[in-house]
Amino acid sequence: MTAVGVPFVAPAPWFPLPARLAVLLSGRGSNLEALAGACDAGTLPARIVLVLSDRADAAGLEKARARGIEAAVEERCGEARAAHEARLAARIEASGADVVCLAGFMRVLSPAFVARFERRIVNVHPSLLPAFPGLEAQRQALEHGVKVAGATVHLVDAGTDTGPIAGQEAVSVRPRDDAERLAARILAAEHRLYPATLAALLAGGWTVEGRRLRFPAGEPAEE
């Protein structure tokens, strides 16, 4: 744990490149595809070494296998959260992953799990945090009547969608939007934002001071 008031400075690069990523998901896996596509295109200097799902029926597992990526399932079957998380952590550690990328992983991770991978877990969330954390963020935004929605990539801390913000992309809300249409445009933003922000994180040299994460050369979206 970093002492309060002492900034954390990531080495540059954050990890030896190409960095090793573990992607955790529970469903569709479109963000997995975006990350894997960026790795293949060379815009994200990383390799996905493991896809891990807490659901055997997650479509993302097949997407991983079709790309030749190891895909594993660890379902929680009536056991304590700590026991399930111990199996997830063992898989991640065995893969040698540097960074854990949450991509539609529908479980809140315990403070103990987050501490085990301190500042090495990254998440994408379909709102402009800190607005609308938690489930159905796009519906929350629409029902609140905001005119601008969006997506956020952040480091994961012990709270729900509360960690330091690394990147955001705004999406306008249109008068005829329903939750589904808005979610589709936010998802397209996620697919741009997640690989680009992760690439900036992997380059390293960023700092976290209090809640504030700063990149050495400005925000990735400005480049």
Query: In which residue are the tokens 């063992």 written?
Result: 90
H helices present in 67-160, as ranges: 81-95, 111-116, 137-144
Report, in Å, the least distance between residue 207 CB and ligand GRF. Answer: 25
Residue length, the chain?
223
**Is 125 among the residues known to form the active site?**
yes
Least CB distance to ligand GRF at residue 59 (A): 8
Closest CB to ligand GRF among 10 and 23? Answer: 23
Judging by beta carbons within 10 Å of its beta carbon (0-12, 13-18, 19+), is residue 19 exposed, middle or buried? buried
Residue 180 CB, nearest approach to ligand GRF (Å): 12
Q: Give the residue from 175, 218, 173 showing the smallest Cα distance to 197.
A: 218
Which of 84, 125, 154, 191 is an active site residue?
Answer: 125
CB 16 to ligand GRF: min, Å:
27
Q: In terms of CB distance, is 10 or 156 closer to ligand GRF?
A: 156
* Smallest separation, CB 84 to ligand GRF (Å): 19
Q: Where is 201: in which H helix or E strand?
A: helix 179-203
Interface ranges with ligand GRF (CB under 6 A): 25, 27-31, 60, 103-104, 124-126, 187, 190
Tokens of 43: 């815009």
The CA radius of gyration of the chain, in Å to the nearest whole number, is 17
- Measured from the CB atom, the residue of 10 and 102 that comes closer to ligand GRF is 102
Q: Which of 85/190 has CB closer to ligand GRF? A: 190
Look up residue 8 and give its amino acid.
Answer: F
Residue type, 79: E
Q: Which is nearer to ligand GRF, 149 or 202 (CB)?
A: 149
CA distance 124 to 101: 8
Q: Are strands 212-214 and 207-209 parallel, antiparallel or unpaired?
A: antiparallel
Annotated active-site positions, please?
A: 125
